[in-house]
Structure 1
C-alpha cells in the first residue's frame, strides 16, 4: 500500500508539474470577416485556426440580395452547414423525381425517388438503388471479381434482409464494370461520383479522381461550385472544426465565426491575416474550464465523502464517495460532449480521486489492483502530456475524456464491490438459474451492440462507443461459466452417455458468441482482432489444460507459440517477394518489411521509428522527460493515431527506453497479479466442499484467465506494432492509450471483478 500510494502521488505530482510548466498559448475567441464591396474572402487552415482544414477551404461573399453566401473550395473535405436540427453538406444533392444528373458528361434521368431509394434510367436500362444494393432492370448485380468473402457475405445479407436491417454501402459511378455497387460509365474514372445514405437521405456527391473532384451536375448545377446562403444558419463545420455563425441583422457587413472545438493554438497573439479577417484573441485556459463553480462543489463534496470513509463510517463513506465519483464523472463527460470544456485541473482531480478511492475501499490490496492503479496514473500522465504538447485544443479532450470515464468506471465498480461485500456478510446469493439468466442477458446486450455497429457504425464504433470491448468481457464471462460447469457435470448427470449431449449444451453458447464476435471483427480491414482472439483462445485452452491436468495439450500449445515466433522471425528475414500474391492482408506485411518503399501507408511505422530513435534511453530532452513536461511535443504528434496505437512511441520519445522499462515492469506486475489471483481461485476450487463453491472458484479462475489473455494480447500487439516486431495493427495499449471504451467496458469491470474477491454470487 505504501509503495503504491507513493507511486500514485509521484505520477499525480508530475501531472501538476506539467500543468504548471505549460507555456501560454493563444487562440481566436471569434473570427470576424468584413469584405470590401464585391470581394470574395477565402479562408483556410490559418484564417480559420482549423488544423484539419485545407489551405484554401471556404469562399465567403456578401450578396446584396441573398446576404452571405458560402462555397466549399476543398477537393477532399466537406463543409456542413447546420440550421437548427438539419444538416446541409456542400457539394452534395438529394435527387428528386423528374430531375436529371450528369457524371462527367454521362446523363441519367431520375424516374422515382424517396428517402429510402432512387430509380433512374440511362441507355434503356432501369437502375434502382436502395442505399445498400444496386439493381439493374430488377435484378441485383453480381459480386465483383475482386470482392473479398466478407464483402460477398454482406451483399448477400443486403439482398435477403428487410430494408431496415440492411447495411449501407455507397453506389460508385465510373469504371468499366457493372458489379456489386459499381455502375460502370465509359470514359469515366472509377469513383467519379458517389450515391450514399446520409442522415436518412440518399445524397449524390462528387468523388475524387487524382486529387480533383469529378464534375457532377444536378439540374445543370455543378456540385463542385455549389453556393449556399447562410441565412438561418446557426453553425458550420469545416475541417472537423465547428463554428457558431453570427451573420448579424439588417444587412450587416461583418460575419462572425466562433470556433468551438479542434482549434489551432498560437504561441503569441500575433498572426498575419488578410485585411478582411480579424481575430479576437483569448488565452488557453488550463486551470479554469467552462463548468464553473458547480463542478468544484461536487469535488468538495466528494472529498468530504472520502474523509468520511476513514472518520465516520468506512462503509457509508465509501458508498457516498463512490456515488459522488460516478455522478461527477458522468456530469463531466456529458458537459464535454455538449461542447463545454472542463479544463485540465478538474480531470486531474477526478483521476486522482478515482485511483485514490480505489485503494482505500474496504478489502485487501492485491498486486493486480496496485499495478493497475499505477498503470492508469501513467496513462493519464502520457495523455496529459499529449494534450499540452500538441498545437491544438483537440488533444486535451482525450485526457479529459479518459479521466471522466475512469471516474465513471471506478465509481460504478466501487459501488458494485461494496454491494458484493455486503452480500457476502449477510449470506445473500443468487441461484444457478438466475446467474445463467444474467449471463445470457449480458451476452444479448453485447450482441445488440455488435449488431448496432455493423448496421449503423463503422470501424470506429457507433456513437463514439466500441461495443467490441463489452463483447470481449461478455465472451470471457460466458466461456468461464461453461468451462466451470464442464468440470462438475458428473455430479448430477444420470448416465455417462448423457455427457456428450451436455457438453454440447454447455459449450454451444460460448462457441456461438465467439463465431458472431469473429464475424463482426472480420469486417474490419485489419487482422489484429483475429490475432487478439487467437491469443485469447490459446490462453483459455492452456488454462483448461492446466486445470484438467492435460500435460500433452499444454505442451502442444507451448510448441505452437514457439512456432508462431519462428514464423514471424522467418517472415522478417525472408523478404516480401512471396507476399504479393496473398492479396489485401499482404499489404500490412509489405509495409512492415519495407516501410520506405510505401511512403504513404508506411508513414506511421517510419514516424514511430523516428520518435523512438529520438527518445533513446534518456528521452528526447536527456532528462527522462522531466525537462520537457508540459512543453511542445514536436514532430512526434504527427504520427497517425499516436493517442491510440502509437502511444508507446510517444512514451519512449518523451521518457526514453528507461521509462518504457519501468512501464514494462508495471505491466508484468499486472499480468503476474492476474496469474496469482487465478492460481488462488484454482486452489480454492480444489479445496471446495460442494458444487456451488467449486463452480464459483472455477468461474473466477477462467474469467481471470480470459480477461488477462485479452490484456496480454493488447500488450503484445501494441508493443509489437510500435517496435516493428509485428506488422501495423490497430489495437490500443491497455491503460496507456486513449481508448475510452476499452477503459470503461473492459478494464474497469475486470478490476472490479478481481477486487470483489471470490464471486459473491455464491455467497462465499
Structure 2
C-alpha cells in the first residue's frame, strides 16, 4: 500500500468534521443574526418603532391577499363559424374593458378568416412577425390617389420619409413633421400656443432626423401650420402621421368623427372606414388595450387574452352561440417562472442574517470580512432579484402578488439592515414606501381588471432594484471613508458632467421619440431633476470657497461645468415643460425647487434680505390662490393660456366633461369621510372591490391620494401627512448637520463635501415637497389639475427608481454615524 493510500482514511474524518463545523458555524451565524436584529431593535427605540410599522404594513398587505375574493377571467375565447358566416364581437364577448360594445367584425370565408374594425374612435392592430398593421390606415408608399369626402389628391411621390401630392393647382409636401404648401411652410394657426410655435420653429431649422413628429390633419376651414383645410369636412377627419418610421394615412380622429377616405393603390380602390384584413400570418391582435394571441384551425378561431382582461366574480356569462370561453381563476399566490425570485430572496435574507450575526460577534478580521461580504452579497442579490422580476414582468410572466409582497418587504429589510445608524429620513422613507405598496396592492385587488396589479408588481421590482443599487453605493462609500480614500475634485466634476450629458440626452430622446408620459416606458425628467440638483449643489458649494481650492478656479479643466451645466439642465427642463407637457406642473416643480435652493443659499450665506424676498414671494403665491378662488372666472376668460384648466378648477360643475377627474376625486374623498368608506379605516375593505373609485382617470398616479382617502379616510390621511412631514424634517436635519460639518472643516475637500451634501439634500427635499404640494393640492382642489405623482404613494416607477431611491441613498450616506432617530 502506498503512502497516499495509507493517509487517505486518516484525513477523511477530519474533512467531515471540518464540514460539519462549518455548517454548524453557518447555522449559528444565522441564529446570531436574528438575535442581533432583535437586540438592536430592543436597544434602539427608533429602529423598533420602524420595524413594527413596517411589519404592520406588510401584514396588512398579506391580509389583503388572504381576504381577496376569487376572481375569474377567460383563458381562451373560441369562435366557431362555418364558411360564409360572420359575427360581431365587442367588450362583452372579448372581456376587453377598453373596447367598444361592437368593436370588430369577424368573417369566415373559403380562403380563411377576415377581420374588420367597427369602432369609430379605437383602433385594431394586427401583429405579425416583426411588423404591425393598424386597421383604418394605409402606408402612403405605393398610393396613387386618395380622396377625403369630395376632395381628391393625386400622389406625386412617396417614400417612408415624405410624401408629395397635388390638388387644385397647389403642390403639397409633408415630411412627418412639417407641411409645405407650394414649397413654403404654412404660418402658425391663430390659436397656436407658445409650445406649438416653438415646435414649428424647431422643425423648420433642424435636419429631418432631429425633427419632432407632428401629424398632418385634413378638414376645417383653415390652412395653417400642419392643417390642410377642406370645406364642410370635420377638422381632423383624416390625418397622415409618421408611425413606426413610415407615413400612414388614417381615417377618423380621436373624437370619433369619420369622413369617407378612399385610397387608390396599384391594386384597387378601397375605403379605409371599411378596411378588412385577412388573419393569415397574424400572430396576435390588439383590441383597445387588450392583446389576443390567435390560433386558427378550420372553422375555429381561438383568442387567448392577456393584459387588461375583465374580471368576473363567477365563471358564468351568457354569450352568443358561436362564442365559448374557457375560464381560469386569478392567481395571487403563485406565478410562472418565479423560482429564481424566491431562491434569490431567500439567499438575500440569509446574507442579511449572516452579516448581522457577524457584526454582533467580537470584532476580528474574520468577522469584519464576513459582515462586509454578507452585506455586499445581500445588496447585489437584491439588485439581481429586482432585475429578474422586472424583466419577467416585461416579458409577460409577472411574479405573483405574494412574490411581489415578499420582494418589497425583503428590499426594505435589506435597506434597514445595512451598516449605519437609522436616521429619521430613512425610517420615514421606509414607512412611506410600505404605505405606498399597500395602497397600490389595494387598488390592484379592488379593480375589476387583471392588469391593475402590474403597478404593484412594478413598484416592488423597482424598489428592489433601487435598494440593491443604493446598498452597493452605501457600502462603497463606507469602505472609502474607512480607508480615507476619496475621488479627486476633477474626477468628481467630470462625473457630474457625464451625469448632465446623460440627463440631457434622455430629455432629448423624450422630445424626439416620446410624449409627456415618457419614452421607452421611462420618465427621463426624473433623472434630470436629480442631475440638476447635484450640479447646482456643486456650484453653490464652490461658491463659498471660491478661491480656496487646491488651485485657482481659473485653472480648473472643468470650469465650464460649474457655470453652464446647471443652467443648461434648467433650460432643458423648462423647455420640456413648455413643449411636451400639456399642464404647467413642471413649472411649479421648478419654481418650488428654485425657492428651496434660494432659501438654502440665503440661510448658508446669512442673507436675510434674500430670505425675506423668498418668503414674501411664497406668501404672494398663497394670496394668489385665495384671490382666484374669491374672484371667480370673469377675469380668466381673457388669459387664453391654460385658462380652461383654471375654469374647470373654479367651477367643475359647469364643465362636467373636462372636470370629470376633479368631480370624481371629490366624490371619492367625500365618501371616505373621516374613517374611510367602510368606517373602519379601510381594515374591513382590505382586498375587496374598490367600487367606482377606479373610474377616476389616472387614479394610480395623479389621483392616488383620492383613492387613499376614500379607503382609509381623513384620519389615515392625517397619519400619512405626519410621516411625510417627518421625512422632510429628517432631510432638513441631515442637511443641517452636513452644513455644520462643512463649516467646521479645516481643508477645502471636507468643506466642499459638507456644503455639497447640504445643498443636494435641500434640493432633493424641495422637489419632494413640491410633489407633495402639487398632488395634495390637485386631489383636494386647492390647485388646478396638474399631473404629478405623489412621492412614495403613486405608482410612478421612474420617480421611485431615478429620484426617490437615490435621494434616500444620499441621505443615508450623508448622515453622520452618530445620528439616530
Classify the TM-score, shorter chain.
Answer: over 0.9
Does residue 176 in structure 1 map to residue 221 in structure 2? Answer: yes
Does residue 479 in structure 1 map to residue 528 in structure 2? Answer: no
Deviation at 1:189, TM superposition (A): 1.6
Name the structure 2 match of 1:263: 309
Q: Distance in 1 between matches of 2:561 and 2:373?
A: 44
Name the structure 1 match of 2:329: 283
**1:266/1:391 contact within 8 Å kept:** yes
Does residue 641 in structure 1 map to residue 698 in structure 2? Answer: yes
CA deviation vs aligned residue, 1:320-367 (integer Å, no higher than 9, x gap)? 111111111101111111111211011101100011111110011100
Deviation at 1:175, TM superposition (A): 1.2
Go from structure 1 to structure 2 and tell me whether the alpha carbon gap of 1:357 and 1:494 turns closer, same or farther (over 3 Å shift): closer
CA deviation vs aligned residue, 1:379-401 (integer Å, no higher than 9, x gap)? 00000000000000111000000
Name the structure 2 match of 1:517: 573
Deviation at 1:759, TM superposition (A): 10
Deviation at 1:456, TM superposition (A): 0.2
Go from structure 1 to structure 2 and tell me whether the alpha carbon gap of 1:98 and 1:617 turns closer, same or farther (over 3 Å shift): closer
Moved more, 29-38 or 320-329: 29-38
Q: Secondary structure at the match of 1:244?
A: strand
Name the structure 1 match of 2:393: 336
Q: Match for 2:285 among 236, 239, 247?
A: 236
Name the structure 2 match of 1:508: 564
Name the structure 2 match of 1:671: 728
Name the structure 1 match of 2:372: 315
Q: Match for 1:422 among 459, 476, 479?
A: 479
Name the structure 1 match of 2:66: 20
Q: Distance in 2 between matches of 1:395 and 1:463?
A: 20
CA deviation vs aligned residue, 1:103-131 (integer Å, no higher than 9, x gap)? 11210011101110011111111111000
Name the structure 2 match of 1:564: 621
- Unpaired segments ≥5 residues, structure 1: none
Name the structure 2 match of 1:193: 238
Q: Distance in 2 between matches of 1:118 and 1:494?
A: 59
Deviation at 1:221, TM superposition (A): 0.7
Q: Which structure has the larger Rg over C-alpha atoms?
A: 2
| Mapping for residues 86-165 of structure 1, pairs under 5 Å | 86-97=131-142, 99-165=144-210
Does residue 82 in structure 1 map to residue 139 in structure 2? Answer: no
Does residue 227 in structure 1 map to residue 285 in structure 2? Answer: no
CA deviation vs aligned residue, 1:85-111 (integer Å, no higher than 9, x gap)? 110000000123561101112100111
Does residue 712 in structure 1 map to residue 757 in structure 2? Answer: no
**1:91/1:226 contact within 8 Å kept:** yes
Deviation at 1:293, TM superposition (A): 2.7
Q: TM-score, normalised by structure 2?
A: 0.90
Deviation at 1:282, TM superposition (A): 0.2
Deviation at 1:516, TM superposition (A): 1.5
Q: Distance in 2 between matches of 1:97 and 1:225?
A: 19
Q: Match for 1:11 among 42, 47, 57?
A: 57
Q: Distance in 2 between matches of 1:119 and 1:503?
A: 49
**1:486/1:506 contact within 8 Å kept:** no
Name the structure 1 match of 2:522: 465
Q: Distance in 1 between matches of 2:508 and 2:356?
A: 46
Figure out how many residues of one structure are paired with residues of the other and give that number.
753
Name the structure 2 match of 1:245: 294
Does residue 533 in structure 1 map to residue 575 in structure 2? Answer: no
**2:602/2:611 contact within 8 Å kept:** yes
Q: Secondary structure at the match of 2:311?
A: coil
Deviation at 1:36, TM superposition (A): 4.3
Deviation at 1:295, TM superposition (A): 2.7
**1:27/1:269 contact within 8 Å kept:** yes
Q: Secondary structure at the match of 1:236?
A: strand
Does residue 695 in structure 1 map to residue 695 in structure 2? Answer: no
Q: Distance in 1 between matches of 2:307 and 2:126?
A: 16
Moved more, 33-42 or 525-534: 33-42
**1:97/1:111 contact within 8 Å kept:** no
Does residue 297 in structure 1 map to residue 346 in structure 2? Answer: no
Q: Distance in 2 between matches of 1:146 and 1:712?
A: 35
Q: Distance in 1 between matches of 2:688 and 2:512?
A: 43
Deviation at 1:509, TM superposition (A): 2.3
Go from structure 1 to structure 2 and tell me whether the alpha carbon gap of 1:551 and 1:269 turns closer, same or farther (over 3 Å shift): same
Deviation at 1:491, TM superposition (A): 2.2
Go from structure 1 to structure 2 and tell me whether the alpha carbon gap of 1:90 and 1:210 turns closer, same or farther (over 3 Å shift): closer
**2:734/2:815 contact within 8 Å kept:** no
RMSD: 1.7
Name the structure 2 match of 1:394: 451
- Unpaired segments ≥5 residues, structure 2: 1-46, 359-369
Q: Match for 2:658 among 585, 601, 613?
A: 601
Deviation at 1:494, TM superposition (A): 10
Deviation at 1:758, TM superposition (A): 6.1
Deviation at 1:311, TM superposition (A): 2.7
CA deviation vs aligned residue, 1:241-273 (integer Å, no higher than 9, x gap)? 00100012xxx1010000121111000000111
Deviation at 1:508, TM superposition (A): 3.0
Q: Secondary structure at the match of 2:547?
A: helix
Deviation at 1:750, TM superposition (A): 0.7
Q: Distance in 2 between matches of 1:724 and 1:638?
A: 18
Deviation at 1:300, TM superposition (A): 2.1
Does residue 54 in structure 1 map to residue 100 in structure 2? Answer: yes
Q: Distance in 1 between matches of 2:483 and 2:578?
A: 46
Deviation at 1:209, TM superposition (A): 8.3
Name the structure 1 match of 2:779: 722
CA deviation vs aligned residue, 1:600-646 (integer Å, no higher than 9, x gap)? 11000000000000000000001110000000000011100000011
**1:305/1:321 contact within 8 Å kept:** yes
**1:469/1:746 contact within 8 Å kept:** yes
Moved more, 48-57 or 303-312: 303-312
Q: Secondary structure at the match of 2:542?
A: helix
Name the structure 1 match of 2:601: 544
Go from structure 1 to structure 2 and tell me whether the alpha carbon gap of 1:492 and 1:276 turns closer, same or farther (over 3 Å shift): closer
**1:80/1:90 contact within 8 Å kept:** yes
Q: Secondary structure at the match of 2:635?
A: helix
Q: Match for 1:71 among 116, 119, 144?
A: 116
Go from structure 1 to structure 2 and tell me whether the alpha carbon gap of 1:656 and 1:494 turns closer, same or farther (over 3 Å shift): closer
Q: TM-score, normalised by structure 1?
A: 0.97
Q: Distance in 2 between matches of 1:485 and 1:191?
A: 54
**2:500/2:565 contact within 8 Å kept:** no
Q: Secondary structure at the match of 1:208?
A: coil
Does residue 381 in structure 1 map to residue 438 in structure 2? Answer: yes
Q: Distance in 1 between matches of 2:432 and 2:97?
A: 31
CA deviation vs aligned residue, 1:679-709 (integer Å, no higher than 9, x gap)? 1011111111111111100000000000000
Q: Match for 2:676 among 616, 619, 623?
A: 619
Q: Secondary structure at the match of 1:273?
A: coil
**2:285/2:294 contact within 8 Å kept:** yes
Go from structure 1 to structure 2 and tell me whether the alpha carbon gap of 1:141 and 1:686 turns closer, same or farther (over 3 Å shift): same
Q: Secondary structure at the match of 1:508?
A: helix
Q: Secondary structure at the match of 1:203?
A: strand
Q: Distance in 2 between matches of 1:97 and 1:342?
A: 46
Q: Secondary structure at the match of 1:346?
A: helix
CA deviation vs aligned residue, 1:545-568 (integer Å, no higher than 9, x gap)? 000000111011111111111110
Go from structure 1 to structure 2 and tell me whether the alpha carbon gap of 1:350 and 1:292 turns closer, same or farther (over 3 Å shift): closer
Go from structure 1 to structure 2 and tell me whether the alpha carbon gap of 1:56 and 1:584 turns closer, same or farther (over 3 Å shift): farther
Deviation at 1:198, TM superposition (A): 0.5
Structure 1 runs (4+) deviating above 4 angstroms are 492-496, 502-505
Q: Distance in 1 between matches of 2:255 and 2:725?
A: 49
